[in-house]
Structure 1
Amino acid sequence: MMNLRKIIAIGALAAISQLSAAETQLPTTAIYDLGSLDTMTALGLENHVVGVPKQGLPDYLQQFNDARYTDVGGLKTPDLAALKAVHPDLIIITGRQAGKRDELAAISAVKQAGISGDDYWHGLSENVISIATIYNAQDASKKALSDLEADIEATKKHINHNATVLVVTHNNGSLGLREDAISSQLLGLKTAQIPAHVESHKRGTRTFTPLTIKDIAETNPTTLFIVDRSAAIGDTKNALNLTKLKAELAAQGAGTIKVAYLSPKLWYLSGNGLQSVRMQVKEIADAL
């Protein structure tokens, strides 16, 4: 096994690339970040994947349900025994697994993927290139990003920029505002202004803005996009009743709002990858 743990511990990502180049075999990886998984797939690097959280896989990543890939637990419940058995050189995680980071780092090197800051495209590009660098695939990643950017620009030419959008997350009957960089930053769509009386609440480092049907009716976006957390995590009995929601909007005098139900696992469990971002852009554009 390559000694990646010490390298990542001191933050020397460039050193990983140099080490990889010096070895005849590139590092194997277990991936909990589904966006990183679809990026590796887009770059033709899936042969280096040895473990994935199979219960959280969206439809577009179902090829990883194959027996050649070890099931390494849930997105919030990594299977440490399975990880030890497959013994990857690298484990890629997100904030969902951050609480288990020390336990994971005791098994293999850990890289936490994520996008921060106000420039989504810059963060996405850095994320993609950082993964590609580990596998000496920088040129391929830059080409893929260029193609994705061109696809987004082409999409923007054919959408209604007079539209206002509102993106919400549904969870067990409750709705909350969702800050969405795909619609606002990548596609340049205007987010509808929520009423001034709506209050946000802090829970630790996170901010939640609950919305009622009446609040959404007052906001009156051209299109309401819904990410259904309940459906994404398999809580089907509490998944959104779309017919009921539309009826409730109509009862509030907001029946003209177009309601678009986004692919739950793609939007709630995945994202920030070369494939997922392309699909998310298409879903938004197609629904306008």
Structure 2
Amino acid sequence: MKKLLFPVIAGALVLGACGSEESAETTTGSAAEKEEMTITHELGETTLEKNPQSVVVFDFGTLDTLDALGIEAAGVPQMNIPSYLSKYEGDDYKNVGGLKEPDFEAINAMDPDLIIISGRQADLYEEFEAIAPTIHMGVDTQNYMESFEQNVTTLAELFEKEEEAAEQLETINASIDELNEEVTSQDLEALVTLANDGKISAYGAGSRFGIIHDVFGFTPADDTIEVSTHGQSISYEYIVEEDPQYIFVVDRGAAVGGESSAKQVVENEFIAGTQAYENGNIIYLDPDYWYLSGGGLVSVQEMVNEIHTGIQ
């Protein structure tokens, strides 16, 4: 998997008014100073004014965080929006195409102040940048919490929501500490899987779902799983051989608008012999949080909550 670099605040510049003493006296107190931020991200360095008003967001994790901070996006790709963000499917928000097929004509017509993209749109960065300041914001799965927190604090400073963000991050970190202590004290072992069209893939440490191992503390049932976007294809025999205490399942079909088939795929006569099945420890994770919008203030907290509930 390509390692994602998280945005870093390079600095802030305060632009003051200039001109003659006479004009300065005339305008004193009549207009607020405009403050800029420079954000360094994987695809470049972007400078823009703070508190952009019209924002187009292609990353659902970022949309999640902005919404949690009380900031609404003006335009989003309206297909496959996580259900808890379904308000963005409404007519009050502009549909800017698909995650992989942006509607540049619609975006250009909006004349946005900022565009936020992630991995699926990275190859189109120059086309976005030609329309408006554009930043690439994604989570580094091999350094999940640090990059997640940096993304949140970058957005919080850009929109001057530092206090709200700090409070929510404090709550999330406290719940993670509690979960990690419970998991590690019992030395729990897990296999993380993705069910998709009758096939199963496994994800280990450092992967898109590696937070379960790297942050929450579960020992990988197999520590040799290759890190890749689509996971390592596995068989039922493999699962039986590894015999994990817990099996976590993300249903891709349900995430992309298809029918949920994960239970039928995962639970069969082979898997019935594993300790995870026998102990009721096959946990189906909400794909809205895990597949569509991971890395947001709401989704990360809900990910913690789901795992904590699953091991009770």
Sort the TM-score into its range (normalised by shorter chain). Answer: 0.7 to 0.9
Equivalent in the alignment of 2:202: 177
Q: Distance in 1 between matches of 2:247 and 2:258?
A: 22
Amino acid corresponding to residue 197 of structure 2 in structure 1: N
Are 1:14 and 2:8 counterparts? no
- Secondary structure class of the residue paired with 1:118: helix
What does 1:148-167 align with in structure 2 at a 5 Å threshold? Answer: 148-158=172-182, 161-167=186-192
- Secondary structure class of the residue paired with 1:235: coil
What does 1:77-88 align with in structure 2 at a 5 Å threshold? Answer: 77-88=101-112
Give unmatched runs, 5+ long, in structure 1.
1-10
Q: How far does residue 253 in structure 1 lie from its aligned partner after superposition?
A: 5.6
Residues 194-227 of structure 1: CA distance to partner in whole angstroms, max 9, x if unpaired? 6x7x8x597xxx5742111111111111111111
TM-score normalised by structure 1 residue count: 0.82
Amino acid corresponding to residue 171 of structure 1 in structure 2: N
Amino acid corresponding to residue 85 of structure 1 in structure 2: A
What is the count of residue pairs matched by the alignment?
Answer: 268
Equivalent in the alignment of 2:267: 246
Are 1:218 and 2:247 counterparts? no
Equivalent in the alignment of 2:56: 30
Q: Distance in 2 between matches of 1:64 and 1:45?
A: 12
Q: Distance in 1 between matches of 2:266 and 2:291?
A: 20
Q: How far does residue 38 in structure 1 lie from its aligned partner after superposition?
A: 1.0
Alpha carbons of structure 1 residues 65 and 117: separation in structure 2 relative to 1, 3 Å: closer
* Contact 1:17-1:134 at 8 Å conserved across structures: no
Residues 4-60 of structure 1: CA distance to partner in whole angstroms, max 9, x if unpaired? xxxxxxx875348978647796342111111111111111122xx101111121111
What does 1:43-58 align with in structure 2 at a 5 Å threshold? Answer: 43-46=69-72, 49-58=73-82
Equivalent in the alignment of 2:217: 188
Equivalent in the alignment of 2:284: 261
Q: Distance in 1 between matches of 2:14 and 2:293?
A: 26
Query: Comparing 112-121 with 58-67, which one deviates more in the overlay?
Result: 112-121
* Contact 1:161-1:189 at 8 Å conserved across structures: no
- Secondary structure class of the residue paired with 1:129: helix
Tell me which structure has the larger Cα radius of gyration: 2
Give unmatched runs, 5+ long, in structure 2.
1-7, 16-32, 37-48
TM-score normalised by structure 2 residue count: 0.76
Q: Which has the higher helix share?
A: 1
Alpha carbons of structure 1 residues 253 and 225: separation in structure 2 relative to 1, 3 Å: closer
- Secondary structure class of the residue paired with 1:167: strand
Alpha carbons of structure 1 residues 215 and 128: separation in structure 2 relative to 1, 3 Å: same
- Secondary structure class of the residue paired with 1:68: coil
Equivalent in the alignment of 2:250: 227
Query: How large is the RMSD of aligned CA atoms in angstroms?
Result: 2.8
Residues 55-101 of structure 1: CA distance to partner in whole angstroms, max 9, x if unpaired? 12111111222221111111112111221122211111110111221
* Contact 2:239-2:271 at 8 Å conserved across structures: no
Q: Distance in 2 between matches of 1:79 and 1:53?
A: 9
* Contact 2:249-2:262 at 8 Å conserved across structures: no
Q: Distance in 2 between matches of 1:70 and 1:17?
A: 32
Alpha carbons of structure 1 residues 137 and 219: separation in structure 2 relative to 1, 3 Å: same
Equivalent in the alignment of 2:26: none
